[in-house]
Amino acid sequence: MNVAPRRKLRAQKAPSAPQIEEVTLESLLNAQKKVARIIAAGNTQYLPIFQRLTKEVEEYKQKEDALQLALKLAAQ
């Protein structure tokens, strides 16, 4: 015979979704610099990450340039 007191079940909270932070040019450049230092220390296996960051920086700049042009043309 089980005489242990019963515990009330608590409603478990669903895990909240992680907050997505905006990627900025500054954060990309900081990451690129950090990876460059790691590579300079002899860790060439991180070169693909550096290449990806370089590509991301270029794409970010292109998008910003296109946005500025679009806004300039819209204001005319």
- The string of pLDDT tens digits covering residues 6-59 is 666 666 666 777 788 889 999 999 999 999 999 999 999 999 999 999 999 999
Give the HSE-up count for residue 53: Cα atoms under 13 Å, Cβ half-sphere.
Answer: 18
What is the predicted pLDDT for the residue at 38? 98
- Overall residue count recorded for the chain in this entry: 76
Q: pLDDT-based confidence at 5, cuts 50/70/90?
A: low
Asked if 68 and 76 touch (Cβ cutoff 8 Å), the reply is no
Q: Return the percent helix, strand and coil in the chain, to nearest 5.
A: 65, 0, 35
Q: In sequence order, which residues have a C-beta less than 8 Å from that of residue 25 and are 6 or more positions away? A: 57, 60, 61, 64
